[in-house]
Amino acid sequence: MSGTRVVPGACPLDCPDGCSWQVTVQDGEAVALRGTPDHPYTRGTLCVKVNQFLEHTRAEDRLLYPLRRTGRKGEGRFERITWDDALTEIAQRLTKTIERHGGEAIWPYQGTGTLGFLQGLQGRAGSRLWNVLGASRHDMTICSIAGLAGLTYTLGTSTGIDPESLAQSRLILLWGSNPLTTHHHLWKVIQRARSDGAHVVVIDPIRSRSAAQADEHIAPLPGSDAALALGLLHVVVQEGAEDQEYLDTHTVGWPEFRKLVMEFSPGRAAREAGVPEEEIVRLGQRIATSRPTAIRVSQGIQRHAGGGSALRALACLPGVTGDWRRPGGGLLYSTDGYFGGNREALYRDDLLKRPVRSLSMTRLAEGLLETDDPPVEALIVYGANPLASSPDQNRIRQGLAREDLFTVVMDHFQTDTADYADIVLPATMQPEHLDVHDGYGHVYVTWNEPAVAPPGECLSTTETFRRLARAMRLTEPALYASDEQLASELLDSEHPSLSDITVDSLRAKGWARLAYPEDHVPFADGFPTPSGKLEFVSETAEADGFDAVAGYVPALEAQDAELARQLPFVLISVASHFFLNTVFGNKPELRRRAGPPQVVVHPQDASMYGITDGDRVRVSNARGAFEALAKVADVVRPGVAMSTKGHWPKHTDDAGPNATVAERDADMGGGAVFHDNRVQITPLGGADTDNEDAQ
Ligand SMILES: Nc1nc2c(c(=O)[nH]1)N[C@H]1C(S)=C(S)[C@@H](COP(=O)(O)OP(=O)(O)OC[C@H]3O[C@@H](n4cnc5c(=O)[nH]c(N)nc54)[C@H](O)[C@@H]3O)O[C@H]1N2
Ligand SMILES: Nc1nc2c(c(=O)[nH]1)N[C@H]1C(S)=C(S)[C@@H](COP(=O)(O)OP(=O)(O)OC[C@H]3O[C@@H](n4cnc5c(=O)[nH]c(N)nc54)[C@H](O)[C@@H]3O)O[C@H]1N2
Ligand code: SF4
Ligand SMILES: [Mo]
In a domain, 327, yes or no: yes
- The reply to whether ligand 1 has any atom less than 6 angstroms from the CB of 201 is no
Q: Which atom of ligand 3 is nearest to the CA of 185?
A: 3
Residues 384 and 417: their CA atoms lie apart, in Å, by 8
Q: Percent helix, strand and coil across the chain, each rounded to 5?
A: 35, 20, 45
In a domain, 348, yes or no: no
Whole-number percent of the chain with pLDDT over 70: 98
Single out the residue in 513, 548, 577 at which a domain terminates. 513
Any idea what the CATH number is for the domain that residue 576 is in? 2.40.40.20
Q: Are residues 491 and 430 in the same domain?
A: yes
Q: Which residue's CA is the nearest one to ligand 2's atom 18?
A: 384
Q: Is the dihedral of CA 89, 93, 98, 99 positive or negative?
A: positive
Residues 85 and 94: their CA atoms lie apart, in Å, by 14
Q: Which of 112, 651, 673 is the pocket-test mutation for ligand 2 (most atoms within 8 Å of CB)?
A: 112
pLDDT in tens, 200-247: 999 999 999 999 999 999 999 999 999 999 999 999 999 999 999 999
pLDDT at 2: 59
Span from the CA of 13 to the centroid of ligand 4 (angstroms) = 10
Residues 33 and 51: their CA atoms lie apart, in Å, by 7
488, 104 in Cβ contact below 8 A?
Answer: no
One DSSP character per residue, 609-677 reads TT--TT-EEEEEETTEEEEEEEEE-TTBPTTEEEEES---GGGTTS--GGGTS-----SSTT---TTS-
Q: Is the pLDDT of residue 687 over 90?
A: no
Q: Is the pLDDT of residue 324 over 50?
A: yes
Residues 678 and 695: their CA atoms lie apart, in Å, by 20
- The reply to whether ligand 1 has any atom less than 6 angstroms from the CB of 302 is no
162, 41 in Cβ contact below 8 A?
Answer: no
What end-to-end distance do the CA atoms of the chain give, in Å? 67
Judged by its nearest atom, the ligand closest to the C-alpha of residue 575 is 1
- The reply to whether ligand 1 has any atom less than 6 angstroms from the CB of 388 is no
Span from the CA of 670 to the centroid of ligand 4 (angstroms) = 14
164, 420 in Cβ contact below 8 A?
Answer: no
Q: Are residues 8 and 26 in the same domain?
A: yes
Span from the CA of 408 to the centroid of ligand 2 (angstroms) = 16
Instruction: Report the phi/psi class of residue 465: left, alpha or beta, with left for phi > 0 and alpha for psi in -120 to 50.
Output: alpha
Span from the CA of 254 to the centroid of ligand 1 (angstroms) = 31
pLDDT in tens, 42-87: 999 999 999 999 999 999 999 999 999 999 999 999 999 999 999 9
Q: State the pTM of this model.
A: 0.97
- The reply to whether ligand 2 has any atom less than 6 angstroms from the CB of 617 is no
In the chain, what is the greatest distance between 2 CA atoms, to the nearest angstrom?
A: 72
Q: Are residues 254 and 381 in the same domain?
A: no
Using alpha carbons, select from 652, 651, 612, 648 the residue that is nearest to residue 628. 652
Q: Are residues 668 and 620 in the same domain?
A: yes
- The reply to whether ligand 1 has any atom less than 6 angstroms from the CB of 272 is no
Q: Is the pLDDT of residue 299 over 50?
A: yes
Residue spans of alpha helices (H) in 290-429: 307-314, 317-321, 343-347, 364-369, 386-389, 393-400
- The reply to whether ligand 1 has any atom less than 6 angstroms from the CB of 15 is yes
> Mean pLDDT across the stretch 295-307?
97
Q: What angle do CA 258, 262, 267 make, to 5 degrees?
A: 150
286, 167 in Cβ contact below 8 A?
Answer: no
Q: Is the peptide bond before 638 cis (omega within 30 degrees of 0)?
A: no
Using alpha carbons, select from 203, 209, 215 the residue that is nearest to residue 275. 203
Single out the residue in 14, 32, 57 at which a domain terminates. 57
Residues 500 and 503: their CA atoms lie apart, in Å, by 10
In a domain, 555, yes or no: no
Span from the CA of 345 to the centroid of ligand 2 (angstroms) = 25
pLDDT at 690: 42
pLDDT in tens, 375-417: 999 999 999 999 999 999 999 999 999 999 999 999 999 999 9
Span from the CA of 143 to the centroid of ligand 4 (angstroms) = 4
Q: Is the pLDDT of residue 155 over 70?
A: yes
Using alpha carbons, select from 572, 567, 555 the residue that is nearest to residue 635. 572
Strands (E), 312-466: 330-332, 358-360, 378-382, 406-411, 423-426, 435-437, 444-448
Span from the CA of 121 to the centroid of ligand 3 (angstroms) = 16
Which of the four pLDDT bands, split at 50, 70 and 90, describes residue 694? very low
Q: Are residues 401 and 320 in the same domain?
A: no
pLDDT at 686: 53
Residues 142 and 139: their CA atoms lie apart, in Å, by 9
- The reply to whether ligand 2 has any atom less than 6 angstroms from the CB of 393 is no
Q: How many residues does the chain have?
A: 695
Whole-number percent of the chain with pLDDT over 90: 97
Give the residue numbers spanning the domain of 77: 67-143+359-513
Which of the four pLDDT bands, split at 50, 70 and 90, describes residue 685? confident
E strand or H helix that includes residue 122:
none
Q: Which residues surround ligand 4, an ion (CB under 5 A)?
A: 143
pLDDT at 681: 98
pLDDT at 691: 32
Q: Which atom of ligand 3 is nearest to the CA of 46?
A: 5
pLDDT at 518: 84
Q: Are residues 490 and 626 in the same domain?
A: no
Residues 554 and 272: their CA atoms lie apart, in Å, by 9
Residues 296 and 135: their CA atoms lie apart, in Å, by 37
Each residue of 75-104: b (16+ CB within 10 Å) or e? eeebeebebeebbebbbebbeebbeebbbb
DSSP state of 324: G
Residues 465 and 437: their CA atoms lie apart, in Å, by 20
Residues 360 and 137: their CA atoms lie apart, in Å, by 9
> Mean pLDDT across the stretch 293-304?
97
- The reply to whether ligand 1 has any atom less than 6 angstroms from the CB of 143 is yes
Q: Are residues 156 and 185 in the same domain?
A: yes
In a domain, 37, yes or no: yes
Q: Are residues 415 and 385 in the same domain?
A: yes
Q: Is the pLDDT of residue 500 over 60?
A: yes
Using alpha carbons, select from 627, 618, 654, 637 the residue that is nearest to residue 572. 637
Residues 208 and 200: their CA atoms lie apart, in Å, by 14
- The reply to whether ligand 2 has any atom less than 6 angstroms from the CB of 114 is yes
E strand or H helix that includes residue 221:
none
Q: Are residues 289 and 403 in the same domain?
A: no
Span from the CA of 183 to the centroid of ligand 1 (angstroms) = 10
Residue list, ligand 3 pocket, CB within 6 Å = 11, 13, 15, 17-19, 46-47, 49-50, 184, 580
630, 611 in Cβ contact below 8 A?
Answer: yes
pLDDT at 692: 37
Q: Which residue's CA is the nearest one to ligand 3's atom 8?
A: 19
| Pick from 216-225, 466-475, 515-524, 680-689: least confident | 680-689
- The reply to whether ligand 1 has any atom less than 6 angstroms from the CB of 225 is yes
Single out the residue in 450, 482, 513 at which a domain terminates. 513
- The reply to whether ligand 1 has any atom less than 6 angstroms from the CB of 677 is no
E strand or H helix that includes residue 25:
strand 20-26
In a domain, 540, yes or no: no
In a domain, 124, yes or no: yes
Q: Are residues 418 and 438 in the same domain?
A: yes
Residues 138 and 13: their CA atoms lie apart, in Å, by 20
Any idea what the CATH number is for the domain that residue 9 is in? 2.20.25.90
What are the backbone angles phi and psi of residue 393, rounded to the nearest 5°?
-50, -45
- The reply to whether ligand 1 has any atom less than 6 angstroms from the CB of 306 is no
Q: Are residues 286 and 327 in the same domain?
A: yes
Any idea what the CATH number is for the domain that residue 422 is in? 3.40.50.740
Q: Is the peptide bond before 374 cis (omega within 30 degrees of 0)?
A: yes
pLDDT at 519: 85
Judged by its nearest atom, the ligand closest to the C-alpha of residue 114 is 2
> What is the identity of the amino acid at 462?
T
Average pLDDT of the residues of the chain: 97
Each residue of 551-570: b (16+ CB within 10 Å) or e? bbbbbbbbbbeeeeeebbbb
In a domain, 607, yes or no: yes
- The reply to whether ligand 1 has any atom less than 6 angstroms from the CB of 322 is no
Q: Is the pLDDT of residue 502 over 50?
A: yes
468, 91 in Cβ contact below 8 A?
Answer: yes
DSSP state of 536: S
Domains held by the chain: number: 4
Alpha-carbon Rg of the chain, whole angstroms?
25
Q: Are residues 161 and 264 in the same domain?
A: yes
In a domain, 545, yes or no: no
Q: Is the pLDDT of residue 688 over 70?
A: no
Judged by its nearest atom, the ligand closest to the C-alpha of residue 115 is 2
